[in-house]
Amino acid sequence: MARAFWLRAPGEGEIRSIEVPRPGPDDVEVRTLYSGVSRGTETLVFRGGVPESQFAAMRAPFQDGEFPAPVKYGYLNVGTVEHGPPALLGRTVFCLYPHQTRYVVPAASVTAIPDDVPPKRAVLAGTLETAVNALWDAAPLVGDRIAVVGAGMVGCSVAALLGRFPGVRVELVDVDPARAAVADALGVGFATPEKAAGDCDLVVHASATEAGLTRSLELLADEGEVIEMSWYGDRPVRVPLGEFFHPRRLVIRSSQVGAVAPARRARRSFGDRLELALRLLADPVFDTLVTDERPFEDLPRLMSGLAGGELPGLCVRVVYEHD
């Protein structure tokens, strides 16, 4: 038996007891140590904001149930393999699995965490994988002037990676001045929207707000590009395509982790991308993105607080206690 977090109805979560199948010869049984809450997507799912046209596209790899509810959803899971092939037995692994104390999946669905990456930090692997894919889409160049609008988990991950590019001016832009401390820890600049530096070659937008997208376009230099990482769910969004958009020949292009970026698709698999994200997590700077830690049993209250906006911060790490 195991316990799992389920969305019973939009806005209502619960912990359920479930039966775990016996592992087959090509499976692993994993005991969960930590999971992470992907604030943007998971809170949107929690409030029932997935549009019907996107039910199939937004399925998590090991989701149970259907949108809007009841559904078991999530994809940031770190655990220990307790049954499986010798090469994985006893290893700490990452899996795109929901919040559940124990589970069985095909062995090919887990990725061993490198020895120099602490399991606690590895819950960020899915978020960093999203950032890697965005930079494959964006293809920044040495010396570029870049803004990242939206200092959430994804935006901060993108900014942290961009800060490693030589000669690049990186500015993290957010309405919350408190995010300046996060930007400083990541080694990049910070500005509120009204003070952000313009003339950007590239802007990565991750605020999931209409105002953030508008400001992203305003910050571009002529013929610049916005990489749109936000997912708005069922919310309509107005885009300012009048005024300066056409004469300045601006571009808006989406980036989404559900497919490997076209620039690398012929040479990189999903597994390659995830392994890269895990290797990058050897840098302790990413600990900055985990701003809260809660026990598994608190998930129903936690998700309600996150969806209602009462709990600020970035990634919440969920801790599992086992007998």
Reported as a single tens digit per residue, the pLDDT across 79-122 is 999 999 999 999 999 999 999 999 999 999 999 999 999 999 99
Contact 74, 189 (CB under 8 A): no
Q: Does residue 42 sit in the same domain as residue 86?
A: yes
Residues 58 and 153 in one domain: no
User: Which of these ranges, 231-240, 241-250, 300-309, has the smallest mean pLDDT?
Assistant: 231-240
Mean pLDDT of the chain: 96
The CATH number linked to 156 is 3.40.50.720
Same domain? 181 vs 66: no
State the DSSP H helix or E strand holding residue 135, giving kind and residue range, or none if neither: helix 125-138
What does the pLDDT read at residue 235? 86
User: What pLDDT was estimated at residue 243?
Assistant: 87
Q: How many helices (H) and strands (E) does the chain have?
A: 7, 17
Q: Measure the CA–CA gap between 237 and 45, rounded to whole angstroms.
A: 18
pLDDT of the residue at 237: 92
Domain that holds residue 86: 2-114+282-319
Same domain, 131 and 106: no
Q: Classify strands 145-149 and 71-72 as parallel, antiparallel or unpaired.
A: unpaired
**Spatial distance between the Cα atoms of 174 and 117, rounded to a whole number of angstroms:** 29
Q: What is the pLDDT of residue 321?
A: 87
Q: Is 129 exposed, middle or buried (0-12, 13-18, 19+ CB in 10 A)?
A: buried
Same structural domain for residues 216 and 293? Answer: no
Residue 273 lies in a domain: no
Is 289 among the domain residues?
yes
Q: What local confidence, expressed as pLDDT, does residue 234 receive?
A: 84
Examine the domain organization and report whether 97 and 40 are in the same domain. Answer: yes
pTM to 2 decimal places: 0.93
Residues 56 and 87 in one domain: yes
Same domain, 133 and 101: no
191 lies in the same domain as 93? no
| pLDDT > 90? residue 231 | no
Residue 17 CA to residue 78 CA, distance in Å, equals 20
> Is residue 230 within 8 Å of 213, Cβ to Cβ?
yes
Q: Is residue 259 part of a domain?
A: no
* Cis peptide preceding 68, ω within 30 of 0: yes
Q: What are the tens digits of pLDDT across the range 197-225?
A: 999 999 999 999 999 999 999 999 999 99
CA of 94: how far to CAs of 32, 52, 145, in Å?
Answer: 10, 30, 34
Q: Show which of 236, 254, 272 is a domain's final residue.
A: 254
Residue 229 · residue 202 · CB < 8 Å = no
Q: Which two tokens stand for residue 186?
A: 């990541």
> What does the pLDDT look like over 5-60, one tens digit per residue?
999 999 999 999 999 999 999 999 999 999 999 888 999 999 999 999 999 989 99
Distant-in-sequence, close-in-space partners of 302: CB < 8 Å, separation ≥ 6? 37, 294, 311, 316, 318
> Do 92 and 179 share a domain, yes or no?
no
Q: What pLDDT shows up at residue 272?
A: 96
d(CA 136, CA 200): 18
pLDDT of residue 314 exceeding 80, the answer is yes
What is the reported pLDDT for 157? 97
191 and 148 in a single domain? The answer is: yes
Whether 203 is in a domain gets the answer: yes
Answer yes or no: is pLDDT of 322 > 80: no
CATH of the domain at 53: 3.90.180.10
In a domain, 187, yes or no: yes
pLDDT in tens, 123-168: 999 999 999 999 999 999 999 999 999 999 999 999 999 999 999 9
> Above 60 in pLDDT, residue 323?
no
Report how many domains make up the chain: 2
275: in domain: no
- Edge to edge, the sheet with strand 71-72 lists 12-18, 2-9, 71-72, 64-65
Percent of the chain with pLDDT over 70: 100
Decide which of 211, 234, 254 is a domain's last residue.
254
